[in-house]
Chains A and B, each alone.
Chain A
Amino acid sequence: MHAEHDIASPKDNINPKRPKRPKTPRQPMPEQDPRRRRYNFEEVPRGYSEEAARLEASRCLQCKNAGCIKGCPVNINIPAFIDLIAKGHFAEAADKLKEQNALPAVCGRVCPQESQCEAGCILGKKGDPVAIGRLERFAADYARNHGHEPPVCTAAPTGKKVAVVGAGPAGITVAGDMVRWGHEVVMFEALHLAGGVLMYGIPQFRLPKEIVQYEINTLKKSGVKIRTDMAIGMTQTVDQLLESGFDAVFVGTGAGLPSFLNIPGENAIGVFSANEFLTRVNLMKAYDFPRYATAPIRPRRAITVGGGNVAMDSARTALRLGAESVIVYRRSLEEMPARAEEVHHAQEEGVEFHLLTAPKRIVTDDRNRVTGMECLRMKLGEPDASGRRRPMPMENSELVIQADTIIVAVGNQPNPLVPRTSSGIEVGIRGTIVADAETMATTKPGVFAGGDIVSGAATVISAMGQGKQAARAMHRYLVGDEPPCV
């Protein structure tokens, strides 16, 4: 069993106040036992205790030229917040985070820290980097659980009105900043609940929905009006928003159009996009069927195609719905885009990995229901444009993997509703909105964009980073000046 108070102790740490060469090992994250968690939707990592958090924070060297900040898409002053944790000022640490990051409790859970802040940590050169993500989560959770709210900078009302289209990570960031800076903000959401991918996509066991709704409520309390059930592009267009009195519009509608494999049998019963599979469970709460009316998927043996975080989420959700769960990925473990931690969790819980295996055709019965998937074995060739070794099919290597459910998690394209219905917004080849790299301004005056609708399917934090940039630029656009506070 993983005991919750499992704290690694510093070895011969002679001078704990100013450790020159810290000996405290990276504090492990207490986790729910895999035997238990593979059948429940509760969060897997339990979070640091105060003691473990302070110990972990004490490892930080407080570098002057902090590599971690450079790795952070929203430039959090990481050494500063960690120092506050080390000193036991947990709420203040959360305030420090909030200066740059609207959603620290979310980012502390879902950011790929190993390739961002923690990749820049000097300790990582010789050993384990400081667990920045876990500390971020700790501080944010502490503040939430203690009802602590960050001091709000109270800028005078500017009289300007801003529309935020899409209530996902990018939109939440923009709305949070703009309302603080004195603008009237209305956020539009197409679905019946705000939160975007944080609500419909990322599962409960990785990001509890209560946390997302807490953040949404915080936004509401700060004055942001949230209008759900409003699909901009359909209910109203961006052009109409501008005509109806909004001075600027931010488009953060995400990459919500699932890609499929384009192989035979893909429209058979039992083939789902990861979005559909996860939406039914997360947003529509089909696990509580029949109290909730949306029909649940009841997989007995599920294949998830793909190697990203969404694939891991889908495979682990299938497992929790009672299925034997298999991942089919055409490259090897090394090339997998999913976070190492997610892959590790999936393996721990018993997800089977079929690597170097590519789907060829979906096998169905006479009622067009899935019975399996024919695959090809692959080998790795020369690196391709992405720098990853290109998978090549091996001849006569066909095999059929039995399954009654197939979840396609091979990425998403930008949602076409806004690009399709707005005038003057330039769209790139793959359907993304073209935006200035610095200001996130689109080709239409007064319209800014950020997140997956601009970058294609990426991460929560990069969407938030673009939201930050866009907010500053929008403020300048509206009042011709820098924001009154961070």
Chain B
Amino acid sequence: MSQINLTIDGKSVAVEPGATVLEAARRAGVAVPTICDHKDLSPYGACRMCIVEIEGVRGFPTSCTTPAAEGMQVRTASPELESLRKRTMELMLSGHPNSCLVCPHREACESMRPKATKAGRSTRCGFCSNKEECDIRTMALEAGSRDLNLPTLYAAHNLERGDPFMDRDYNLCILCARCWRICEKIHGKPAISIINRGKDARVGTAFHKSHVHSGCTFCGSCIDICPTGTLTDRFARWYGKPDAKTPSACLLCPEGCALIAQTHSGKLVAATMTAFQSEASLCALGRFGMAQIVNASTRLLRPAIRENDEAFTVDWDTALDSAANGLKQHAGRVGILISAATTREERHLYARLAAGLNGRFAVVPTLPVDPLPAGQGTPLPEWLADIQSGKITALILGGDFLERELARSLDFLLVIDGLPVRVQDQADVVLPAALLAESAGTLRTAAGQIRSLARISRAPGQAKSEWEILRDIGQKLDIAEMHFDTLQDVTAAITDDAPPASFPGRPRQDVFSLPATYRGHLLADIIPALSAFGLPTTYDPSQEVQPTEGFELLEIRELVPNMHLLRIHAPQVAAHAKPGQFVILMARETSERAPFTLADWDAATGSITLIIEEVGRSSRELISLSQGARLAHVSGPLGQAFPVERKGTVVLGGGCYGIGAILPLARALKEAGNRVISVIEGSSAYLLYWEDKIRAVSDELRIATKDGTRGTYGGVQEVFQEIREREEDQGAAINMIVAVGCTFMMRMVSELTKPWDVSTFVALNPIMVDGTGMCGACRVSIHDETKFACIDGPFFDAHGVDWDELACRRGAYAREEVEALPQTVDLNTLMFPETAKQGCGCGG
């Protein structure tokens, strides 16, 4: 068919019939901003960023939905278009937390804190796990303007964290509809859609059902196509933007789906579809499970042998010798039992080993949970009965298939696996194997296709690829047929492998027919969230000890997004607390000892009040408690009280949790006869709290917001500057400054006031372990002298602080802090508490 010729910004371009104006513009090399548009989705016209002017056409059509026509004269840039697009972006951003985009300190802040904080709610880019990959952030930054004139509306939707694998925060949603459009494209009948109307419109399931029961298959495509941080992969989200994406395949069932393996710092963090197409979809296990299996904390790390009933770790050579010797002694009476979740090369080498030892060999297929009661009925080969009769005396076990009873009848047991098996302590030799993405090879799908597996994730400890382990054992046994130099040689030697039987379930269409096991291990034991799909597990949550003694939580509520007020019964703290001190909290016996500044207390009722921002595991455990629950431990008050003296005019600055922390300081300093000016800072007006409380104990209250929605545009430092100028105009002076907030804020204040010659105090917040001076984890350098923040602080002379060192030390456990975040579906108390009140979702 003939082509269509049109002109875009004066450039002539020819496109196929049916192409849109947007496509034509791209062909012509003209950039048009878009958000809702996606190459794998049909045009939708939701965001209206791609508007153009077309000669002879009224108004400003969206180029993504307008078909190109012969002779069209299109303009993509004009003052009107610019102004309309800017207004469209402002509208979009008024419903999306944007304070970082307009903050005057963005560059400085991001240079000191390039990584996002692991916040529960993303109230700004700096708190958003999608920061490095966000389309609207990129668009806004490219637009370059910090000038947003519409008010910020924070919808205050509940965080949705009660489903497996995905975290959803619809407060970030810009209603581009990519998620439900891709869901519809891939699954035909989307599990999600836009519900409610007008300003209440949002994406959700029908009748607010949990995604588990909504028809969602947990393919993850909505997460992967979301341009914002609304939909995220709970496991991968805080590792940061993947640094490599490698095509590979899934070994977890005989479907053998192709996928893209995403890695960060040499570790697998997620697997995604190869394309946004129905045929390429993945099941929940393939999309989310693989990364959690390879990163499991129970992985086998070192080869071990058993002698005289005592097992100990040894080097590889010793272990392989023990393996080979044991097998040699039992040649002719050896069985090999492995999982179907192995590569062709591995199975081929096992088969040759079986032949070389004149033994029996069986591959246990991977099956869904459905026909099998928990842990029962895995189809094991009949020859296993020969173990009891003594015809088989040695076994190579490549998975958790063996009962303890049967293992007792064996004379020699060799385990080759990456995870602990039930008969681990009965094994004579245990060889730790690399799993899944940790080793290369090929697989044959049930449909007969051969796919390559890439080795892209670093195996833990000393774990080795299974094919190498087998080859080495073969060499030790002098089996000539097992002599291979490279994996490619093994692959080439495979001539006639039959495709495996197809998987008796449709895991990509039905989350209730996922494989129940991997190498015989119950998958829900490794990935607890899978139990939400009915997968069997030996884990019994009722066995978790809930503290019955301890400290009662009298009150808990979210004051402003992500900032929680906790009032706890702790009379021993309330009776002795002084301004500026902190407490150490442990929500459970397994928690960290986490320090929190006392925001208020009442000795009469024995209660203390804390403002806790959700930024990691400890704070999350605490804010997940319900009123009436008990905290395992509350210790304090700790730290030196702030030296409250009469100084004259004192200016206090509080940001985030620090707003709560300056309340007792303001009260005490005012009582001591000072003129107290309190300055509170929030990223945006909707994040400010306790204004009235602080005003009541201050002579003056000033407000600063990073987006200019209230008070001074900027941070406390801008207000400090204003106050200083005003005081100087009046011939007065500031006698003392105190700042409590994030490290960045306190550092900015310190730099500002250094030339002023005004004593400036900051409350430092390094990592602590015990909080009583015992460990020195919290050491900070003040005027080149090492101090312990827990017993010498928390308040120090701001001008003596080594800020770079503090920032560095605070980040020392960044990776562990991400690993510690809960992956289980245990937060139902947090999500959907108000489902009942939200109605049916029809908007009526």
With most chain B CB atoms within 10 A of its CB, the pick from A192, A368, A417 is A192
Please judge, given known A-B contacts A231-B636, A295-B817, whether A39 and B774 are in contact too, CB under 8 Å: no
Partner-binding segment picked from A217-225, A283-291, A325-333, A381-389: A283-291
Partner-binding segment picked from A19-27, A266-274, A474-482: A266-274
Give per-residue flags for A388-413: 1 if the beta carbon is below 8 A from chain B beta carbons, else 0.
Answer: 00000000000000000000000000
Give per-residue flags for B809-830: 1 if the beta carbon is below 8 A from chain A beta carbons, else 0.
Answer: 1001100110110000000000
Give per-residue flags for A8-40: 1 if the beta carbon is below 8 A from chain B beta carbons, else 0.
Answer: 000000000000000000000000110111110
Whether the pair A417, B773 counts as a contact (CB closer than 8 A) is: yes
- Chain B neighbourhood of A367, CB < 8 A: 808
Please judge, given known A-B contacts A279-B775, A295-B817, A368-B805, whether A322 and B461 are in contact too, CB under 8 Å: yes
Contact residue among B572, B621, B637, B774 (Cβ-Cβ distance under 8 Å from A258): B774
CB distance from A237 to the nearest CB of B (A): 8
A235–B637 Cα distance when bound, in Å, is: 5
Q: Which residues 290-315 in B have Cβ within 8 Å of A in the complex? A: 297, 301-302, 307-308, 310-314
- Chain A neighbourhood of B310, CB < 8 A: 1, 32-33, 36
- Chain A neighbourhood of B581, CB < 8 A: 234
Residue B94, interface by CB 8 Å: no
Residue A190, interface by CB 8 Å: yes
Residue B241, interface by CB 8 Å: no
CB distance from A382 to the nearest CB of B (A): 32
Q: Which residue of B lies closest to A415 (CB)?
A: B773
Q: Which residue of A lies closest to B315 (CB)?
A: A35
Residue B592, interface by CB 8 Å: yes
Residue A275, interface by CB 8 Å: yes
Give per-residue flags for A252-279: 1 if the beta carbon is below 8 A from chain B beta carbons, else 0.
Answer: 0000111010000011011011011001
Q: Which residues 188-235 in A have Cβ within 8 Å of B in the complex? A: 190-192, 200, 228-231, 234-235
Whether the pair A3, B308 counts as a contact (CB closer than 8 A) is: yes
Please judge, given known A-B contacts A267-B809, A296-B816, A322-B461, whether A235 and B772 are in contact too, CB under 8 Å: no
Q: Which residue of A lies closest to B313 (CB)?
A: A39
Whether the pair A293, B636 counts as a contact (CB closer than 8 A) is: no
- Chain A neighbourhood of B313, CB < 8 A: 35-36, 38-39
Give per-residue flags for A231-244: 1 if the beta carbon is below 8 A from chain B beta carbons, else 0.
Answer: 10011100010000
Residue A360, interface by CB 8 Å: no
Whether the pair B786, A267 counts as a contact (CB closer than 8 A) is: yes
- Chain A neighbourhood of B586, CB < 8 A: 192
Residue B590, interface by CB 8 Å: yes
Whether the pair B820, A39 counts as a contact (CB closer than 8 A) is: no
Residue B791, interface by CB 8 Å: yes
CB distance from B634 to the nearest CB of A (A): 6
Residue B706, interface by CB 8 Å: no
Given A1-B307, A39-B312, 5 other A-B residues pairs in contact with their CB atoms under 8 A: A191-B772, A228-B633, A272-B777, A294-B592, A417-B773
Residue B617, interface by CB 8 Å: yes
Q: Which residue of B lies closest to A237 (CB)?
A: B576
- Chain B neighbourhood of A200, CB < 8 A: 770, 774
Residue B452, interface by CB 8 Å: no
Please judge, given known A-B contacts A36-B311, A39-B313, A416-B773, whether A290 and B297 are in contact too, CB under 8 Å: yes
Contact residue among B572, B635, B791, B808 (Cβ-Cβ distance under 8 Å from A192): B635
Whether the pair B572, A230 counts as a contact (CB closer than 8 A) is: yes
19 pairs, A vs B, C-beta closer than 8 Å = A33-B312, A35-B313, A39-B313, A192-B586, A192-B635, A200-B770, A229-B633, A229-B635, A231-B635, A231-B772, A234-B772, A240-B576, A267-B809, A272-B777, A273-B776, A279-B774, A290-B819, A296-B816, A415-B773
A269–B576 Cα distance when bound, in Å, is: 35
Q: Which residue of A lies closest to B617 (CB)?
A: A293
Give per-residue flags for B760-774: 1 if the beta carbon is below 8 A from chain A beta carbons, else 0.
Answer: 000000000110111
- Chain B neighbourhood of A38, CB < 8 A: 313
A231–B813 Cα distance when bound, in Å, is: 27
With most chain B CB atoms within 10 A of its CB, the pick from A33, A229, A240, A257 is A229
A33–B309 Cα distance when bound, in Å, is: 12
Residue B721, interface by CB 8 Å: no
Q: Which residue of B lies closest to A368 (CB)?
A: B808
CB distance from B239 to the nearest CB of A (A): 14
A291–B593 Cα distance when bound, in Å, is: 14
Give per-residue flags for B764-800: 1 if the beta carbon is below 8 A from chain A beta carbons, else 0.
Answer: 0000011011111101110000100001000000000
Whether the pair B769, A257 counts as a contact (CB closer than 8 A) is: no
Residue B627, interface by CB 8 Å: no
- Chain A neighbourhood of B777, CB < 8 A: 272-273, 276
Whether the pair A289, B816 counts as a contact (CB closer than 8 A) is: yes
A438–B634 Cα distance when bound, in Å, is: 38
A368–B780 Cα distance when bound, in Å, is: 14
Whether the pair A275, B775 counts as a contact (CB closer than 8 A) is: yes
A421–B813 Cα distance when bound, in Å, is: 34
Whether the pair A269, B809 counts as a contact (CB closer than 8 A) is: yes
- Chain B neighbourhood of A267, CB < 8 A: 779-781, 786, 802, 805, 809
A283–B634 Cα distance when bound, in Å, is: 16
Whether the pair A293, B786 counts as a contact (CB closer than 8 A) is: no
A90–B805 Cα distance when bound, in Å, is: 57
The 8 closest A-B pairs by CB, nearest first: A36-B312, A276-B775, A295-B816, A229-B635, A295-B813, A256-B774, A273-B776, A192-B633
Whether the pair A276, B776 counts as a contact (CB closer than 8 A) is: yes
Report whether over half of chain A's contact residues are helix, strand or loop; otherwise say mixed. loop
Residue A280, interface by CB 8 Å: yes
Whether the pair B592, A284 counts as a contact (CB closer than 8 A) is: yes
- Chain A neighbourhood of B635, CB < 8 A: 190-192, 228-231, 235
Please judge, given known A-B contacts A258-B776, A267-B809, whether A417 and B791 are in contact too, CB under 8 Å: yes
A140–B440 Cα distance when bound, in Å, is: 55
Whether the pair A190, B772 counts as a contact (CB closer than 8 A) is: yes
- Chain A neighbourhood of B775, CB < 8 A: 258, 273, 275-276, 279
Residue B748, interface by CB 8 Å: no
Whether the pair B302, A289 counts as a contact (CB closer than 8 A) is: no
- Chain A neighbourhood of B302, CB < 8 A: 39
A294–B780 Cα distance when bound, in Å, is: 20
Whether the pair B591, A293 counts as a contact (CB closer than 8 A) is: yes
Whether the pair B770, A236 counts as a contact (CB closer than 8 A) is: no
- Chain B neighbourhood of A231, CB < 8 A: 635-636, 638, 772
CB distance from B152 to the nearest CB of A (A): 34
Whether the pair A293, B637 counts as a contact (CB closer than 8 A) is: no
Give per-residue flags for A457-478: 1 if the beta carbon is below 8 A from chain B beta carbons, else 0.
Answer: 0000000000000000000000
- Chain A neighbourhood of B820, CB < 8 A: 289-290, 293, 295
Q: Which residue of B lies closest to A296 (CB)?
A: B816
Contact residue among B312, B575, B772 (Cβ-Cβ distance under 8 Å from A256): B772
- Chain B neighbourhood of A279, CB < 8 A: 769-770, 774-775
Please judge, given known A-B contacts A36-B312, A260-B786, whether A280 and B307 are in contact too, CB under 8 Å: no
Residue B573, interface by CB 8 Å: yes
CB distance from A80 to the nearest CB of B (A): 37
Residue B46, interface by CB 8 Å: no
Q: Which residue of A lies closest to B581 (CB)?
A: A234
A236–B780 Cα distance when bound, in Å, is: 26
Whether the pair A192, B576 counts as a contact (CB closer than 8 A) is: no
A14–B572 Cα distance when bound, in Å, is: 68
A295–B777 Cα distance when bound, in Å, is: 12
- Chain B neighbourhood of A235, CB < 8 A: 572-573, 576, 635-637
Residue B618, interface by CB 8 Å: yes
CB distance from B425 to the nearest CB of A (A): 13
Q: Which residue of A lies closest to B573 (CB)?
A: A235
Q: Which residues 628-645 in B have Cβ within 8 Å of A in the complex? A: 632-639
Please judge, given known A-B contacts A191-B770, A229-B635, whether A35 and B312 are in contact too, CB under 8 Å: yes
Q: Which residue of A lies closest to B632 (CB)?
A: A192
A153–B299 Cα distance when bound, in Å, is: 52
- Chain B neighbourhood of A296, CB < 8 A: 816
A266–B809 Cα distance when bound, in Å, is: 12
- Chain A neighbourhood of B779, CB < 8 A: 260, 267
Whether the pair A416, B776 counts as a contact (CB closer than 8 A) is: no
- Chain B neighbourhood of A258, CB < 8 A: 774-776
Whether the pair A234, B638 counts as a contact (CB closer than 8 A) is: yes
A295–B593 Cα distance when bound, in Å, is: 11
